[in-house]
Amino acid sequence: MSGAKPGRQLLRQEVVEGIKRYILDERLRPGDPLPTEPALCEALGASRSSVREAVKILNALDIVEVRHGHGTYVGRLSLSALVESLTFRGLLSPGDDFQVLADLVDVRELVERGMADRIVTQLGPDQLDSLESLVAAMREQGAGEGEGRGFVEADRAFHALLVQPLGNELVEQLSMAFWDVFAIVAPHLDGFTHADEAETVAAHQSIVDAARAGDVPAFMKSLGEHYAPVRRRISEARARDAAQA
């Protein structure tokens, strides 16, 4: 890395910005094709190697998608880079683990509580039934069986469906990005007991019951009850870590 020349880095970044400008100027949408590599070189006045490096950077950020044998397309513009960055931050050092987890819980609850009125209003009967089914799946599969994959997947699907009626793609992506980071870093907490499992399932059921009743205060109370045990586990894990230090 120390061998990279500053001029080369600057040129690469200029090409990155040039491709981003092209996407915006042409009003391209996710899935739309980008010009061929030679065409990009000509349009940007850049070498083929600079364009290739820029495309690699943008591909890592999900701004473009390289389909080998087909070409380069505008990417999904997901928050995958954010997930990677937050996950690495959470795994980088023991002290960071707990702070990242605490921050993620705060943000997840903030998003859902902030949208509570709209969520309750816009959840339809079919969606409520689907949420109920996911709670049943969590109850039946349990967090301790098969490494808890069924439980975890149902939990993720529950929170994805909870914000889906909002029709806000950014909220959906943020919610799932924070959930994914939490799921990756959370195993450092340990100690997820059967009592914790039952409490988690009950909290999800209360969320559904409150939404079905159209009771926004009860919905918000249930969200608080859902995240309170997680905060308790983070606090306990932090205390254990401090005692062992």
Tens digit of pLDDT at every position of the chain (245 positions): 344 444 555 578 899 999 999 999 999 988 999 999 999 999 898 899 999 999 998 888 788 999 988 899 998 777 666 666 666 665 665 456 677 778 888 888 998 999 999 999 999 999 999 999 999 999 988 755 444 578 888 999 999 999 999 988 888 888 888 788 777 767 666 666 788 888 889 999 999 999 999 999 999 999 999 988 888 888 887 787 777 76
Q: How far apart are the first and last CA of the chain?
A: 35
pLDDT value at residue 108: 86
- Report the C-alpha gap between 143 and 112 in whole angstroms: 23
Q: What is the pLDDT of residue 2?
A: 40
The greatest distance separating any two alpha carbons of the chain, rounded to the nearest whole angstrom, comes to 64
User: Reduced to 3 DSSP states, what percent helix, strand and coil does the chain have, rounded to the nearest 5?
Assistant: 80, 5, 20
Q: Taking a C-beta distance cutoff of 8 angstroms, is the pair 37, 48 a contact? A: yes
pLDDT at 104: 81
User: In the structure, how many helices (H) and strands (E) does the chain have?
Assistant: 11, 2
| Residue 4: predicted pLDDT | 44
Contact 94, 241 (CB under 8 A): yes
Res 177: pLDDT: 81
Neighbours of 16 (CB within 10 A): 20
d(CA 6, CA 12): 10
Exposed / middle / buried, residue 227 (Cβ in 10 Å: 0-12, 13-18, 19+): middle
